[in-house]
Amino acid sequence: MGVVLFHSAFGFTILAVAMNGLQAIYLNAVANRHKLFHKPTYVTAFVYISLCSLYVEFGRFSQPLLINWILIAVLDNMLQLSQAQKPRKLIYNSGFLIGIAALLSFPAIVYILLLLVALALLRNLNPGEWMVAILGCLTPVYFAAGLLFLFDVLHWFPEWVNLGVNLPGTISKPVFLVGAIMGMIILFTAGTYVLQKQLGRASVFVRRGWTGIAMCLIFSIIAAAITDSSIKMAWLVIMPSITLIIANAYYAEKNKAFSNFAFYFMLLLVVFCKLAGG
């Protein structure tokens, strides 16, 4: 990749910005395809781009940015599991993608648990499907180990295991950190409130889908928290799932003032984070 972009920091930045935009469109398409909201719009894309703009490190080319492609694809597959005619294909593909994510960043291995939890929640108990999921997760690791063996560098393999704690130790920008966290909590609370109102009218498949999205957010928080502290953009992996939840705040049907508040609050939060040094 460095050769293609001539080892240019500007080139990698442009690539990262383009990827963020394309991921926003992809996530928006997933939300519309699975009817997570009562009408198709581009709100999900707007929320995703806005959240990724809160912190300058989220706009850099990184492992979490690549993992987000995988997370969105896995979410897309998970939302199809309840009604899938050939679930094992979706399950294997999801496991394979998670295996690739784990190769990119070892903490992403926790998403194996996400896939197993999704199978428990969205499918009837079928040990065969669980084995397919585990096989899919192990396949990329098997091939990676095989390549290392062929090139006689198998001693590199233990270096793949790399865990840490990605929580703020010394806070250099407390105003930015506290403001960004509080702003996201307010938006998340607003989205959760509207979602609870709308779940009663949703189909059982949509309700199960939202359960899967909530589980994805939980495991993404775990994955980010156990990533090495040197990777500053680790928390980017929570963006796909938290975006879908926050986007509900813009779909408040009976109270347009509520959705207007969410829209302008998001804009103010982005401006605040930029001024505060994010």
**pTM greater than 0.85 (yes/no):** yes
For residue 278, the model assigns a pLDDT of 63
Burial of residue 29 (number of CB atoms within 10 Å: 0-12, 13-18, 19+): middle
SS (H, E, C) the chain: CCCCCCCCHHHHHHHHHHHHHHHHHHHHHHHHHCCCCCCCCCHHHHHHHHHHCCCHHHHCCCHHHHHHHHHHHHHHHHCCHHHCCCHHHHHHHHHHHHHHHHHHCHHHHHHHHHHHHHHHHHCCCCHHHHHHHHHHHHHHHHHHHHHHHHCCCHHHHHHHCCCCCCCCCCCCCHHHHHHHHHHHHHHHHHHHHHHHHHHCCCCHHHHHHHHHHHHHHHHHHHHHHCCCCCCCCHHHHHHHHHHHHHHHHHHCCCCHHHHHHHHHHHHHHHHHHHHCCC
Name the one residue in this structure whose structure tokens are 């719009």: 41
Please indicate, yes or no, if residue 232 is contained in any of the structural domains. Answer: yes
* Phi, psi for residue 168 in degrees, rounded to 5: -65, 120
Buried b (16+ CB within 10 A) or exposed e, 211-248: bbbebbbebbbbbbbbbeeebbbbbbbbbbbbbbbbbb
Tell whether 4 is covered by a domain. Answer: no
Residue 3, domain member (yes or no): no
Residue 1 lies in a domain: no
Q: How many CB atoms lie within 10 A of CB 188?
A: 16
Residue 189: inside a domain: yes
pLDDT by residue (tens digit) across 108-141?
A: 999 999 999 999 888 888 888 999 999 999 999 9
Radius of gyration of the chain (CA): 19
d(CA 187, CA 94): 29
Provide the domain count of the chain. Answer: 1
Range of the domain at 184: 9-275
Q: Helices 239-246 & 174-199, crossing angle to 10 degrees?
A: 60
Can you say whether the dihedral through the CA atoms of 174, 175, 176, 179 is positive or negative? Answer: positive
Distance CA 70, CA 52 (A): 17
Residue 2 lies in a domain: no
The string of pLDDT tens digits covering residues 265-274 is: 999 999 999 8
The amino acid that residue 166 corresponds to is: N
pLDDT per residue rounded down to tens, the chain (278 residues) = 554 554 677 788 889 999 999 999 999 999 999 988 888 889 999 999 999 999 888 888 889 999 999 999 999 999 988 887 888 999 999 999 999 999 999 999 999 999 999 998 888 888 889 999 999 999 999 999 898 888 888 888 888 887 777 666 556 778 888 999 999 999 999 999 989 888 877 778 888 889 999 999 999 999 999 988 778 888 999 999 999 999 999 887 666 788 888 899 999 999 999 888 76
Q: Is residue 202 part of a domain?
A: yes
Q: Would you say residue 29 lies in a domain?
A: yes
